[in-house]
Structure 1
Amino acid sequence: MIDTHAHIYLEHFKDDLDEVVKRAQDNGVEKILLPNIDGSTIESMLDLEKKYPDICYPMIGLHPCSVKEDFKKELQLVEEWLGKRNFLAIGEMGTDLYWDKTYWEQQKDAFHFQCELALKHDLPIVVHCRETIDETIDLVKVYKNQNLRGVFHCFTGSVNQGKQITELGFYLGLGGVSTFKNGGMDQVIPHLDRRKVILETDSPYLTPAPHRGKRNEPSYTSLIADKVSEFLNLSIEEIDDLTTANANELFFPTKK
Structure 2
Amino acid sequence: MLTDTHTHLYSDAFNEDQKEMMQRAKDAGVTRFFIPAIDSGTTQAMYQLEKDFPEEVFLMMGLHPTSVKENYRAELTHIKEQFKKRNFYAVGEIGIDLYWDKSTLEIQQIAFREQIQLAKKYQLPIVIHCRDAFDEIFEVLETEKDANLFGIFHCFTGTLEQAHKAIGFNMKLGIGGVATFKNGKIDTFLNQIDLKHIVLETDSPYLSPAPFRGKRNESSYLALVCKKVAQIYNLSEEDVANVTTQNSKEVFGI
- TM class, shorter-length: over 0.9
> Residue in 2 aligned with 1:222?
223
Alignment pair present for 1:36 and 2:42: no
The runs of 5 or more residues in structure 2 that have no matched partner are none
For 1:129, what is the secondary structure of its paired residue? strand
Pairing 1:136-215 to 2, within 5 Å after superposition:
136-215=137-216
Q: Distance in 2 between matches of 1:250 and 1:189?
A: 20
**Paired residues of 2:30 and 2:219 also in contact (CA < 8 A):** yes
Shift of 1:135: 1.7
Pairing 1:17-96 to 2, within 5 Å after superposition:
17-96=18-97
Shift of 1:146: 3.9
Count of residues in correspondence between the two structures: 253
Letter in 1 for 2:6: H
> Residue in 2 aligned with 1:130?
131
Q: Distance in 1 between matches of 2:39 and 2:12?
A: 15
Letter in 1 for 2:7: A
Moved over 4 A (4+): none
**Bigger mean CA deviation after superposition, 63-72 or 130-139:** 130-139
Shift of 1:124: 0.4
**Paired residues of 2:204 and 2:218 also in contact (CA < 8 A):** yes
**What is the TM-score normalised by the length of structure 1?**
0.97
**Paired residues of 1:163 and 1:193 also in contact (CA < 8 A):** no
Shift of 1:134: 2.3
What's the RMSD between the two structures over aligned residues? Answer: 0.8
Letter in 2 for 1:51: D
Shift of 1:188: 2.1
Letter in 2 for 1:137: F
Letter in 2 for 1:124: P
**Paired residues of 2:91 and 2:125 also in contact (CA < 8 A):** yes
**Paired residues of 2:123 and 2:148 also in contact (CA < 8 A):** no
The runs of 5 or more residues in structure 1 that have no matched partner are none
Q: Distance in 1 between matches of 2:94 and 2:239?
A: 30
Letter in 2 for 1:110: A
Q: Distance in 1 between matches of 2:150 and 2:189?
A: 22
Q: Distance in 2 between matches of 1:107 and 1:193?
A: 31
Q: Distance in 2 between matches of 1:247 and 1:107?
A: 27
Q: Distance in 2 between matches of 1:145 and 1:65?
A: 27
**Bigger mean CA deviation after superposition, 144-153 or 120-129:** 144-153
For 1:81, what is the secondary structure of its paired residue? helix
Q: Distance in 2 between matches of 1:74 and 1:239?
A: 37
